[in-house]
Amino acid sequence: MVLLVAASGLYAVWFPRGGEVAGGGHLRSLTSQEFDAAVASGVVLVDFWAPWCGPCRQQLPILEDVARRVEGRAAVMKVNVDEQPEVAGRFGVQAIPTLILLQDGRPVQRFVGVQSARALVGAIDAAGAGAAGHE
Active site residue 131: no
CA atoms of 127 and 12, how far apart (whole Å): 33
Q: Name the active-site residue from 38, 56, 87, 123.
A: 56
Band of pLDDT at residue 7, cut at 50, 70 and 90: very low
Active site residue 117: no
pLDDT at 132: 56
75-80 vs 106-112, strand pairing mode: unpaired
CA atoms of 68 and 4, how far apart (whole Å): 27
What is the value of pTM for the model shown?
0.79
Give the pLDDT confidence of 85-108 residue by residue, as tens digits: 999 999 999 999 999 999 999 999
Question: Domain residues of the chain, as ranges?
Answer: 7-133
CATH no., domain 7-133: 3.40.30.10
Residue 1 CA: distances (Å) to CA of 5, 10, 30, 95, 120: 10, 10, 23, 27, 26
**Cβ-contact 92, 73 below 8 angstroms:** no
